């Protein structure tokens, strides 16, 4: 459970950060407007991370919650390790521009439930994150996300197209579990994604999975 007092403090700081961001990012695509929930998630995650380090007696350097200028400093430095702390709901996400430019050793994700009562953590290196799926909403809104994939099979590319192999048992199970829903024409969605390199054993060039949902309309960070 997350301490109520900690959440209260995060609420107060989030309101201050929203006001600061309006000034920092005014008239730029990075301006977040009244993105209170986004700021609250990030601040609560940073506060939980700091509390965990203090509980373990570990020394750390922390970036200010309300910064006086735009910087790309890490949220935490622990024993020389530069850590970016992010609060997320649903799946971990990192803005592409941030991932490509920020000098970070590890990302620490605090995965909250909708009510911000419980959480679990995920760690990932920048190299791992850049292997996640890249979602593009528009030119200024791209982010890496570790979405859950339900794999159904493989595909092999040749000069004429793709040869697709789908595991029937997995396909039927996905339908039974409600992971694949029919549209009004009776169709179900399947995603065929290209692998970064062919599978060493099967030589497959693509994976086949349950279709992922469309990207969100607003920037998650």
pLDDT by residue for the chain (221 residues), tens only, comes to 789 999 999 999 998 888 877 776 665 545 454 578 889 999 999 999 999 999 999 999 999 888 766 667 899 999 999 999 999 987 889 988 888 876 899 999 998 888 898 888 889 899 888 888 888 888 778 999 876 668 899 999 999 999 999 999 999 988 887 777 777 888 888 889 888 678 878 899 998 988 765 444 443 32
In this prediction, residue 195 carries a pLDDT of 81
- The answer to whether the CB of 79 falls within 8 A of the CB of 46 is no
CA-to-CA separations, 191 to 94, 158, 165, 207, in angstroms, rounded: 22, 18, 13, 8
In this prediction, residue 24 carries a pLDDT of 65
CA-to-CA separations, 158 to 80, 166, 197, in angstroms, rounded: 48, 17, 15
In this prediction, residue 113 carries a pLDDT of 84
Q: What is the pTM of this model?
A: 0.65
Beta partners for residue 161, in sequence order = 158
In this prediction, residue 22 carries a pLDDT of 74
d(CA 82, CA 72): 11
Contacts of 112 (CB under 8 A, 6+ apart): 41, 44, 45, 87, 88, 89, 118, 119
Contacts of 29 (CB under 8 A, 6+ apart): 140, 141
In this prediction, residue 135 carries a pLDDT of 87
Q: Which two tokens stand for residue 150?
A: 């339900």
What is the full DSSP assignment across 108-173? EEEEE-TTSS-EEEEEE-HHHHTTSEEEEEETTEEEEE-----EEEEEEEETTEEEEEE-HHHHHH
């Amino acid at each position: 459970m997350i301490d109520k007092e900690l959440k209260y403090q995060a609420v107060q700081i989030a309101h201050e950060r929203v006001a600061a961001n309006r000034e920092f990012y005014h008239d730029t695509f990075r301006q977040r407007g009244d993105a209170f929930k986004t700021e609250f998630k990030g601040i609560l995650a940073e506060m939980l991370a700091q509390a965990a380090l203090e509980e373990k007696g570990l020394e750390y350097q922390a970036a200010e919650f309300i910064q006086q200028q735009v910087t790309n400093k890490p949220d935490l430095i622990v024993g020389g390790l530069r850590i970016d702390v992010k609060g997320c709901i649903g799946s971990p996400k990192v803005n592409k521009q941030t991932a490509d430019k920020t000098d970070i050793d590890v990302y620490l994700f605090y995965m909250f439930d909708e009510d911000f009562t419980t959480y679990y953590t995920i760690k990932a290196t920048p190299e791992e994150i850049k292997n996640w799926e890249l979602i593009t909403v528009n030119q200024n809104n791209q982010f890496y996300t570790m979405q859950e994939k339900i794999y159904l099979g493989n595909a092999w590319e040749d000069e004429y197209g793709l040869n697709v192999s789908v595991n029937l048992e997995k396909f039927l199970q996905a339908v039974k579990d409600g992971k694949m829903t029919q549209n009004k024409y009776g169709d179900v969605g399947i995603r065929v994604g290209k692998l970064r390199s062919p599978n060493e054993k099967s030589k497959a060039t693509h994976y086949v999975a349950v279709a992922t949902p469309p990207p969100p309309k607003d920037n998650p960070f």
